[in-house]
Structure 1
Amino acid sequence: MNMTPNSDREIFSSRILNYPLEIVYEAFANPLHLKNWWGPNGFTNTIHEFDLKAGGKWILTMHGPEKGNYENASVFKIVEPLALISWTRETQPLFDMEIKFRKLSDSRSEISFLMTFDTTEECQKIKKFAEPKNEENFDRLENEISKIQTASKSD
């Protein structure tokens, strides 16, 4: 499956990580890790429900650094461990999200986000914020993965 944007309704972001695929996937699939890195810099998360299976719900509150709580509700559509997770958001802004996990070598992997909106206008409204914020998200993911790897080495 090609996950590069093929329309003006999509936002694509990816990062090559110097970590094994299994740890990258674990950082998303385990809500104890996910809550530590999901969202832009300064945000914290309270995950209320995380049922990682097709039809399962993901409900969280993102707490902004200045003020404000942002309620998020989504339903998972596809869950292929170590490969692909997709969901549909049920709260604004509405879009479909795909996260693809790809093994590049035993110690390197790639994660990519593909956000698909119903209209070009909705996509363009979010795009100017989403692209730099996704990079912050990837930075936070790398930080969390380094903690997971350090903890697993000390076990």
Structure 2
Amino acid sequence: MSGRFATLDFEREVEAPVETLWQAWTAPAARAVWAAPTPAVTVEFVEADTAPGGREISLCKVPGRPDIRCEVGWLELRPAARSVNYELVSSEGVTKSAALVTATFAGTDSGSRVAFTIQLSSPAEDMEADYRQGFGAGLDNLAGVAARTMVLRRLIRAPRPVVWGAWVNPETLPLWWGPDGFSCRTKRIDLRTGGEWVFDMIAADGTVYPNHHLYREIRPEDRIAYTLLRGENGPRHADAWASFEEADGATTVTLGMVFATAAEYQDAKGFGAEALGLQTLAKLARFIGAD
């Protein structure tokens, strides 16, 4: 593609561990939260495969304007260190820009830092300015999302199909879900893309916590993306995902949550949500006999 060429550099300091920032940058469920540069833009993800050689396709929608199609191809992914991807932006079948995006990640005393170098080619004269504005706004959103994201991880010594099966079976999920001392009382459960789980979590002292999970994506043996509501059709509490990675016959489970607000994130940390979430993953391991 002939036209204009530019090299753009961006950098952000983020109040989150570098591993959390990496998850916010790469996990499709998290990317869906921060991808829209402004509230006037709606981003619809058509396809998302965050792996070397994988592809992501999204549509940016603004009322009264043609959709903008963005294709991302992941070329290199070195967890919490570096990513390289290409990005093709088009509208109505016409390519607006092509870019190579290199991101480097590092931990800092106060959190983490990410630096981006973008090699941009575009036939449009104003695309460089648009890219600076749009990508810069997206990175501001990324930093805000990472700062209210909680990431938990556990290695479960069982094959991935076994771990996956315990999670997506409507008969077994309620048996282990929740921290130690909690039980689940299900009202409705439909574990599929577009499905839901309406249930109460009941503490050892009898306190009832109504929950509603809306499943946005269930990709077999790979990942689950869902929204947590405070009770049936209640207010949004968090956008969450679980991913399952094969690890020499065992399974690394990553559970991530982007809380709806920074205040809710701080409240969750205050009552020990990280420890409680790890208890939930430990209950899963015990349930399948892999403790």
Give the alignment's TM-score, normalised by structure 2: 0.47
Equivalent residue of 2:285, what SS? helix
8 Å contact kept, 1:62–1:71: yes
8 Å contact kept, 1:53–1:79: yes
2:193 to 54, 77, 97: 54
RMSD: 1.5
Alignment match, 2:263: 121
Distance in 2 between residues matched to 1:61 and 1:142, nearest whole Å: 22
Considering Cα pairs closer than 8 Å and 6+ residues apart, tell me whether 1 or 2 has the greater RCO: 1
1:32 to 171, 186, 192: 171
Once the two structures are superposed, residues 19-70 of structure 1 have per-residue CA deviations (whole angstroms, 9 ceiling, x without a partner) of 0000100111012221121111011111222212222111111111012111
Equivalent residue of 2:237, what SS? coil
1:12 to 127, 130, 151: 151
Matches within 5 A, 1:125-136: 125-128=267-270, 129-136=272-279
8 Å contact kept, 1:98–1:114: yes
Give the alignment's TM-score, normalised by structure 1: 0.86
Alignment match, 1:90: 229
Q: CA deviation at 1:118?
A: 2.5
Equivalent residue of 2:165, what SS? helix
Letter in 1 for 2:258: T
Once the two structures are superposed, residues 50-91 of structure 1 have per-residue CA deviations (whole angstroms, 9 ceiling, x without a partner) of 212222111111111012111111210111010110111221
Structure with greater proportional helix content: 1
Equivalent residue of 1:41, what SS? coil
- Percent sequence identity is 26
Distance in 2 between residues matched to 1:22 and 1:31, nearest whole Å: 15
Aligned length, in residue pairs: 143
Once the two structures are superposed, residues 98-144 of structure 1 have per-residue CA deviations (whole angstroms, 9 ceiling, x without a partner) of 00011112x21111100001222211110242110011111111110
Distance in 1 between residues matched to 2:181 and 2:160, nearest whole Å: 26
Moved beyond 2 Å, runs of 4+: none
Equivalent residue of 2:288, what SS? helix
Letter in 1 for 2:269: K
**Structure 1 gap segments, 5+ residues each:** 148-155
Structure with greater proportional strand content: 2
8 Å contact kept, 2:196–2:213: yes
8 Å contact kept, 1:78–1:87: yes
Distance in 1 between residues matched to 2:206 and 2:236, nearest whole Å: 19
